[in-house]
Amino acid sequence: MSEPMSESGASTPYALTARGLHKRFGGLTVADNIHLSLPAGARHALIGPNGAGKTTLVGLLTGLLRIDSGQIWLGSTDVTRLSPQARVKHGLVRTFQVNSLFPSLTVRQNVELALSEHAGTSRSMLRSIGSLTHLAERALATLAQVGLEHEAGRRVSELAYGPQRLLEIALALALEPRVLLLDEPAAGVASADAERMMSAIERLPCDIAILMIEHDMRIVRRFAQTVTVLVAGQVLATDTPEAIMTSEAVRRVYLGSGGQARYDHRS
């Protein structure tokens, strides 16, 4: 399969490119000719009513679901047939793909394990003091990116749900993502912790492309530069948050599915 190209014939600067993704489960089409492109550093939201196919699309992108047809690239690398683990190695990370948190270990130790696993050294039992010190320093630096450095010594079991969600993002960062997929990161989080979550996401490195699945349009408006609306496995629209929120076609989709309260662009 050839590398994705721009209209001028030059290689595209996209961190993630998906073209013509199709997926059927029996007689049900759940992804119908989906195209999606994320430039490096993108802040892109994926929205749509329940059953629109958002989770299916993320499964196709990460390799948890096999596409029937279409192509997926990370940068210039065709990853269409690669395993989820191989896609992680190429820089595509979803918080769901990170191993479950270890509640009996400290916050820092959880990140150290993720760093070791990514580096392929997790099974090495003999390490120098210098390498252990370097690992601890990297773990603390990663935690600082999400504002958890002051809780590094606490056991995960002592953390509230909100900080645990932040720790999941720290574990994802330990895998050195080029593309980070976030599935409603503030869902179920108390309002104060939701603000902390969004502030942490806004501080993430600007070269990481982020695709966020989200229902709350207030969060979408705050986070996204670009929004894709998915309906019945098809892309209805891709545009700026302002254009999406004033679109009658998009509004009909949400109002028709009982989504008025969460869609209201005045919120």
CA distance linking residue 188 with residue 93, whole number of Å: 22
Structure tokens that stand for 174 in this block? 């330990």
Confidence of residue 1 (pLDDT cuts 50, 70, 90): very low
pLDDT digits (tens, 9 = 90+) for 73-86: 999 999 999 999 99
Check whether 55 has a pLDDT greater than 50.
yes
Check whether 128 has a pLDDT greater than 60.
no
Least confident of 135-139, 152-156, 253-257: 253-257
Per-residue pLDDT, averaged over 190-215, amounts to 94
Global pTM reads 0.87
- The enclosing H or E element of 256 equals helix 248-256
Helix (H), strand (E), coil (C) string for 165-176 = HHHHHHHHHHCC
Q: What b-and-e string marks burial along 209-241, b requiring 16 or more CB atoms within 10 Å of the CB?
A: bbbbbbbbbebbbebbebbbbbbebebbbbeeb
pLDDT digits (tens, 9 = 90+) for 98-109: 557 899 999 999
Residues of the chain with pLDDT > 90, as a percent, come to 73
Check whether 11 has a pLDDT greater than 80.
no
Distance of CA 60 to the CA centre of its chain: 13
Check if CATH label 3.90.1300.10 holds for domain 10-98+181-267: no
Helices (H), 28-160: 54-62, 84-89, 107-119, 129-145
Q: What b-and-e string marks burial along 133-149, b requiring 16 or more CB atoms within 10 Å of the CB?
A: eebbeebbebbebbbbb
Sign of CA dihedral 74, 77, 81, 86: negative
Check whether 70 has a pLDDT greater than 50.
yes
pLDDT digits (tens, 9 = 90+) for 140-186: 999 999 999 999 999 999 999 999 999 999 999 999 999 999 999 98
Cα within 13 Å of Cα(235), Cβ side: 18
What does the domain layout of the chain look like in residue ranges? 10-98+181-267, 100-174
Q: For the sheet containing 92-94, what is the strand order?
A: 92-94, 179-183, 209-213, 43-47, 226-231, 234-239
Least confident of 46-50, 130-134, 220-224, 241-245: 130-134
